Amino acid sequence: MSYIGLLVGNPSLLSVVIVSVIFVLALGLFLSGKFGSKQPSKNPFATDTARPPKQVVADQNVRDKVLKQGFTASKVPENLDAVIIGSGIGGLTVGATMAKAGKKVLLLEQHDQAGGCCHTFIEKGFEFDVGIHYCGELGDGTLTKLAIDQLTDGQLVWEQVDEIYDQVIISDSNGGKRRTYDMKSGKREVFRENLVRQFPEEVKAIDKFMALLKDNKNQFSRGILLKIIPKWISRILISTGIVHLITSHYRGAKKTLDEVLEGITTNKDLRTVFSYCFGDFGTPPDKCPFFMQACLMNHFMRGGYYPRGGASEIAFHMIPVIEAAGGKCLVRAPVSEIVLDKEGKATGVVVRKGGNNITINAPMVISGAGVFNTAKMLSPKVAPSVTKVVERKEGFQHGYGGFSLFVGLNGTSEELGLPKRQNWYFTSNELSKTFWEYMNLSTEEAMEKSVPLVFISFPSAKDSSWNERHPGKAVCTVVTMANWEWFQPWEEERVKNRGDGYESVKDAIAKNMWKRVLDLYPQLEDKVEYFEAGSPVTNKYYLAAQKGEMYGLDHNKERFSAKAALALHPSSRVPNLYLTGQDVMTCGFSGGLYGGLFTACHTLNRNVLLDLISLKKKVKKAKSKKN
């Protein structure tokens, strides 16, 4: 009989012994702070390095010296400890964490600016974020806030958005009568009471939903153990089924969001409120696991936060930490190949520059480029048996295409009456149905059809430094999902010169999105100075997203099985090659951040999460004494 049979079908003394030994072994390694026979690196979070933040640096020349350091072979540091592919939040996090442990790392970014989805761009005097709209769990005292404080030496300031951090608007496709629901931040009781106020007949459904959110938080925190402990122990926990005795997280991931909500309430508006922010990870409610939406609800329950100075502040303050240990972050450095030796071990990378191949050697390679891009970089000529980073059979597929609209406005946010909160605008309370109806349209139909989901944000209203840096101006960012195939015919065309056909499709969808904004903010109609959209092929060019996806791997339920969690472990199937970023964990700022921290556990051979928790206690004690 298999171990799983012993453990589940016929519990016995032997099964208890097996469970106890393996779990104690895993927990012991987790709590020990070191993971193997190798000497662990020094504690990157031994002391609190946060210092009072300085003013936002507005001089673009100063910022460019940090964010736009162009690649040349002469700039590559000698005696590297690691080379990191990609400078998104995952690469930055693992790089800065290793640097704080005294390691010299090199980040290589294919774009002309560091930051990945955390970068900003400026056009016609307007500054736009491409991926960071708001983040949760960044209040004082949270572990996420502490981690960022350490990785930026306290220089990144997070400002809270409105108490009503999101509004859910449900209308018909013609912008007719609208129903508006507020999402209010606060303690769990405040969050619940706000829902009850708006749905007084649905108290039982709301209480059931709140109970599921609480349980999800507990189970998820146990589930991430698989990412932190050594891969061989994770494999044992999964193959024996013991992981399901530790947490119900992976079994719970088998149910979609729609399936769970159908058992809670028949009220479609309430289901919409329970589901509304699925656009933050890009997979519709009939395909994503319930736990993914629950994670987001828990994530934002205490409020949303925005980085003062914009998203580019993240890389701007993390790169100096990397440089302090002798490392570098170089841009315009596309990695064409991960070099493997005859034994199939990663030994470095090849950068394709100016028609030349430049090999950079390092004892370990860390990829934050996503699993599909990473697989393409592995040469099949050397050790073809290890070129599969993960197995596609686990349900991995590209996420859906993202489409963004960037609008520059004449006037300040105050003059234009722009809120700090976000708006989620839907043309129906049947989210999955309208999502698929829209995604299955032909290109011509999509140009005419109302967009069923738009996310509306005003970064200029959320940033206290904005008016000083961009006086008299405001910006609006609008986001939706789009079918890659609508734009695929132009993927090989030159950026900003893809032709009239491409521009017609892009502009038609952008104008349909803008109509939804004007439904809510008609005062903006004659205030537009800049109007530009980014399509899925834009994402492919700037973010190296093969299918124009914003969120990496699709967040379907198959991706979050226990076997998939093992396949997406920071330690890849290729020796000395590690994965990091949103594909290791989940998408989003926090998902990428913790993906980076999990990877650092393995590259440094120590539990840096425990190091952070220990520092959190010290900081709390020090503040208590000071007060």
Position 6 scores a pLDDT of 26
Residues 481, 458: Cα–Cα separation, whole Å: 19
Residues 623, 125: Cα–Cα separation, whole Å: 42
Position 384 scores a pLDDT of 46
485-502 in b/e burial notation, b at 16+ Cβ within 10 A? Answer: ebbbebbeeeeeebeeeb
Residues 203, 184: Cα–Cα separation, whole Å: 17
CB atoms within 10 A of CB 227: 24
Residues 70, 142: Cα–Cα separation, whole Å: 36
Residues 264, 208: Cα–Cα separation, whole Å: 7
Position 354 scores a pLDDT of 86
Whether the CB-CB separation of 98 and 600 falls below 8 Å is answered with: yes
Residues 494, 416: Cα–Cα separation, whole Å: 36
| Beta bridge mates, 136 | 304
Q: Is 49 exposed, middle or buried (0-12, 13-18, 19+ CB in 10 A)?
A: middle
Helices 588-603 and 608-626: angle between axes, nearest 10 degrees? 110
- Contact residues for 511 (Cβ-Cβ < 8 A; gap 6+): none
Q: What's the alpha-carbon Rg for the chain, to the nearest Å?
A: 24
Give the strand pairing for 82-85 and 365-367.
Answer: parallel
Residues 366, 600: Cα–Cα separation, whole Å: 10
Residues 363, 576: Cα–Cα separation, whole Å: 7
272-284 in b/e burial notation, b at 16+ Cβ within 10 A? Answer: bbbbbbbbbbbbb
| Beta bridge mates, 351 | 335, 358
> Which three-class secondary structure string do you get for 533-559?
EECHHHHHHHHCCCCCECCCECCCHHH
122-127 CB contacts, 8 Å cutoff, 24+ apart = 122/60, 123/406, 123/408, 123/530, 123/532, 124/408, 124/529, 124/530, 125/408, 125/470, 125/473, 126/406, 126/408, 126/470, 126/473, 126/475, 126/529, 126/530, 127/310, 127/459, 127/469, 127/470, 127/475
Give the tokens for residue 85.
Answer: 């592919």
Give the strand pairing for 105-108 and 82-85.
Answer: parallel
| Beta bridge mates, 453 | 426
- What beta strand segments (E) does 501-599 contain? 528-534, 577-579
Helices 143-151 and 588-603: angle between axes, nearest 10 degrees? 70
Residue 346: name the closest of 373, 383, 390, 391 by CA: 383
Residues 91, 84: Cα–Cα separation, whole Å: 6
Position 428 scores a pLDDT of 95
Give the tokens for residue 368.
Answer: 């934050």
| Beta bridge mates, 105 | 82
Each residue's pLDDT tens digit, 298-336: 999 999 999 999 999 999 999 999 999 999 999 999 999
Give the tokens for residue 390.
Answer: 């993960």
Residues 171, 151: Cα–Cα separation, whole Å: 43
**Predicted structure pTM score:** 0.92
Give the tokens for residue 128.
Answer: 């736009």
Phi/psi for 474 (5° steps) reads -145, 160
Position 410 scores a pLDDT of 97
- Contact residues for 555 (Cβ-Cβ < 8 A; gap 6+): 281, 282, 283, 288, 289, 292, 399, 586, 587
Residues 121, 117: Cα–Cα separation, whole Å: 11
Give the tokens for residue 505.
Answer: 């499709």
Each residue's pLDDT tens digit, 277-286: 999 999 999 9
Phi/psi for 606 (5° steps) reads -155, 160
Position 25 scores a pLDDT of 55
Residue 281: name the closest of 565, 561, 590 by CA: 590
SS3 51: coil
Position 386 scores a pLDDT of 44
Position 173 scores a pLDDT of 61
Phi/psi for 136 (5° steps) reads -105, 175
Residues 373, 329: Cα–Cα separation, whole Å: 20
Q: Please, what are the averages of pLDDT over each run of 10 residues along the chain (627 residues)?
A: 29 47 55 66 96 95 97 97 97 98 98 94 95 93 96 97 96 78 96 98 97 88 85 87 83 90 97 97 95 93 96 98 98 96 93 93 97 85 52 77 97 97 96 97 96 97 96 97 97 90 97 96 97 96 92 92 89 94 93 96 95 94 83
Position 390 scores a pLDDT of 60
Looking at the chain, how many residues does it have?
Answer: 627
Give the tokens for residue 526.
Answer: 């004659």
Whether the CB-CB separation of 69 and 322 falls below 8 Å is answered with: no
Give the tokens for residue 222.
Answer: 């146990």
